[in-house]
Amino acid sequence: MTDRLDDADPAAVAEFAAMENLLRCWIRETNVPRPDGDRLCCR
């Protein structure tokens, strides 16, 4: 899987970073349990 923050399109990078930030806040606020592994991935 490639890192979306390495995209050549600055607008795509900004959109992904904003979505990731909102998702992190939502996960924290709703107390979503941690996955078995170290990563929670969005595709």
Predicted confidence at residue 25, as pLDDT, reads: 93
If the chain, 43 residues long, is cut into consecutive pieces of 10 residues, what is the mean pLDDT of each piece? 76 89 91 79 66
Predicted confidence at residue 29, as pLDDT, reads: 94
Instruction: Using the CB atoms, write b or e for 12-41: b if 16+ within 10 Å.
Output: eeeebeeeeeeeeeeeeeeeeeeeeeeeee
Distance CA(14)–CA(19), nearest Å, equals 9
Predicted confidence at residue 9, as pLDDT, reads: 84
What kind and span of H or E run contains 9?
none
Predicted confidence at residue 13, as pLDDT, reads: 87
Q: Which has the closest alpha carbon to 27: 39, 15, 14, 13?
A: 39
Predicted confidence at residue 8, as pLDDT, reads: 85
Predicted confidence at residue 1, as pLDDT, reads: 56
